[in-house]
Structure 1
Amino acid sequence: MSTQILVVRLSPFFLEKTGFWFEKNFKDICQQYPNDYLLINKSQLTLLSDLVRKLLDLGYEKVQEVSFPGEFSQKGGVVDIFPVNFVNSRLAFRLEFFNNAIEEIFPLEKLEVLDEVKVRKILKAKLKSQKLFSGLKELKVGDYLVHLDHGIGKFIGLEKLSPEGPDYYVLEYAALDKLYVPLGLERKLSRYVGFTNPKISRLGSSTWQKTKKKIKEEVEKFAKELLGIYAEREIASRPPYLKDQEIESALASTFAFRETPDQTKALLDIRQDLLKTKPMDRLLCGDVGFGKTEVALRAMLMAVSSGYMSILLCPTTILANQHFQNFKQRLVSLPLNLEILTRLQSKKEQKRIVDRLILGQVDILVGTHRVLSQDVSKYLFNKGHGLLVIDDEQRFGVRQKEKLKKLRSSLDILSLSATPIPRTLYLAFSSLRQMSLIQTPPLGRLPIKTMISPWSEKKIKEAINKEITRKGQVYYLHNRVTNIENVKVFLEKLCPKAKIGIVHGRLNETKLLKTMTDFQLNKINLLLATTIIENGLDFPNVNTLIVDDASRLGLSQAYQIRGRIGRFSIPAFAFFFHPKKLSPLAQERLEALKQAQALGSGWQIAIRDLEIRGAGNILGREQSGSINQIGLNLYCQMLSEIVLRISD
């Protein structure tokens, strides 16, 4: 039995100290750090609620079951605490209350925790990660916040409880209960980011602790599975790639932009991966038009200059064809064999390419999932090594992904994601998987001038003629296939100089590809399209976008489509037109679009929405439920801590 225990604050200062230091400096702690400790005595009169509040103030986390230093739990009149000053002895304590007095204090069985040095490292990282993942900048009344110990509430403002006192974050919970969080404890708060609006927690309920415990177990299982996958790849080995500065410089000299710092860093990351003997498996994330394909092309050249084959795998024939045309232009002066393989080619042409693959005469192959067919895949990477670049992996089907897994063991893999991801996920995930982020647009790119107005025939005519006069091209977005031919007739009368092509999802794939090729070769200067243009298309000569009914688009969709123009140092214009009469939902969408335009930084809302989607793509559908229950920021914080705990 114990009669007294000291519980010190979870802080970097105390985490530097050993158990012996606490014993030796007991009196000094009590005198010099009056706000940073709690002294608990047997028979001490104290309210259970006051004890819990003090432990929360000292930075301890309330959990369902204590298993790690810095945690406490409460079940009825029983409180378990694992003080951070008892790390070396691995002792947690149980307090039993009777009425308003602590009747018993006794140590629990020694807990199975890591060694003292590792525990202190994890606790320091935890304090740091709580600040990193909180995301409280630009907090607005009505935003949802997650409190580590109490769950999800709604932020209703800052308040003082006394004229001279500190400010408190005020959170509203179920049954209109309020929680006051002092400004010094904001690390316990994180902004709720999820796929749906959250369910508000009830203060004092055990549901939040149970939810947190369940999700922690799921996150740990997920992290162990990922670590297992990457551990298997660690066994695989291949000779390091060679450096050919001359051929790399020759390709770099044909790039129309200066590399951004993010592109340079990504290329350096990839080069370092390829110079090792372990196969690379890197994820490259970035927004539309930020230069991921350029990084991929240069990586492919690194492989080819080392004597290995490179393959770019695309989710659609249109994308494969576009990449092939671009690569052909860029590689024209280099002694390389470039081919494309899709199911739309004739059988004779496909056989010619497969024959070349058998003879090892293809350096770079651009293709769709046709490349994964058995009659082709068995002839790929004859030397057993090579680089596979996967463009938008999440857009491949389950069967194709299974085939990709089989290819992965000894190949170098570079996966490209067109959807940006939150920095919090990058920080949590980067220790599990090699990742590079491209977050800045190419240097010299001009901002897109965006206009939102009621539908105007005059403005549409002016915008199209202005672009055609400067030898540019136009996207005209009309998102209804049923009457798209009528719109073509209208545009031909309005702008006789416009050479118009139509693309939409119901179009025959051969015709679709021909129209896109004609557009790429400037035989067409106005592409009348549905939202099919949202994904992956990159035509630097297209610098005017006209959306004839913006009220049908969500903000993030409008953002991505707008990102399809303005790819060069030429002024670009986006026109979002809308009907004069709008439904409430259309009005809401339009208001969001107007706010985004007025604020400038309002597009961050769209980016945040896309980042959540990106998080879902990377973590997988199975993790989406967990993210919704506790929010992405707390999920990432948990993932970061668990990876640190179970790695090594």
Structure 2
Amino acid sequence: LHMAMLGIRDISNLTTPPANRLAVETRVCRFDETLLRHAIDRELARDGQIFFVHNRINDIEKVADKIRKIAPHISIGIAHGRLREGELEQVMVDFVAGRTQLLLATTIIESGLDIPRANTIFIDESDHYGLADLHQLRGRVGRSHHRAYCYLIVKESTRLTSTAARRLRAIQEFSSTGAGFSLAMRDLEIRGAGNLLGTQQSGHIAAVGYELYCRLLENAVCGLKDLPPKDPPPVRIDLPGDAWIPRDYIVDLRSKIDFYRRISRTAVHTHVDDLETEIEDRFGPLPLAFRRLLDLARLRITASSLSIDSISKQPGLLVIGHHNIHCIEKWRQRCVLSGQEVRIVGNKTVVLPLQDRVAADADKLFQAVKILFQIG
């Protein structure tokens, strides 16, 4: 990861599973004795073995008694971290050798085990695990050419939190071979990425979205390398008036979010024009607020080309901030040629006085700004 962040090497994905490997059939279910009995009998009928994960040592014996009640004929080994070294070793040796049919264990089995005959796993209280843990535990089965089964058990009395439900939905959705990267991406969305350039362990990816987070991260890396950012800083436009997509114009939320994204990423005027044509063709004449939103996108594009980083209204004034000192004189000449009174404040700010009737009316002010920036 470090070499990839420095741009020395590319990151590649391993998506090809070993030959003859089948996807693990994954199912989220409540604790059901009939279901467990059926799954246990099916595995034993093909001379297989079973993992049962229960991550609380204090009542693991009670769980063993429940399993014996469901399947009295099964031989059970119990493995956890409080066993003496010799006892734990003997339990594992017996299971690997096939002398026990079911291994009841804590997450001590999460990694490092490769037992091809074990192809069914039950994960008790699965809503308490993270996605990485569930993925690792599920990886203990399906290590041969046989179809494997993973049962994510949730207590009947448990009410899932929204985050737990999303985790279980993700592990069930991404159950195909080679889906580890997709699952990691979903985990990234759920938990946040943390600060890759520091020590903080929780990030804000859920608040800003994965795409924007990657762009911000890329610009931060460029800054550490003393390179210009891939994306120039956005122009901040603070003018009165409504500029949004009305709810009754585009009802579908996904479509609305998609158009907001596309408008924010337009880089040339022709893209805005094409987008406007597409929207009118699909949804009809544009409402005033939506038309202003597109005009703001055009204004942003023009302002960015003029090295402007902010446009705002203050009492009786239009204030334009620049991030390039050399553009100030060109901008002053542009205003003079258009007959506009102009003042230069400091090295990076242009101040334009506004007539009272323009300053008091948001629509007239916006039209004046459009004329000033030559936006049709």
TM-score by length of 1: 0.29
Higher strand share: 1
TM-score by length of 2: 0.48
Pair member with larger Rg: 2
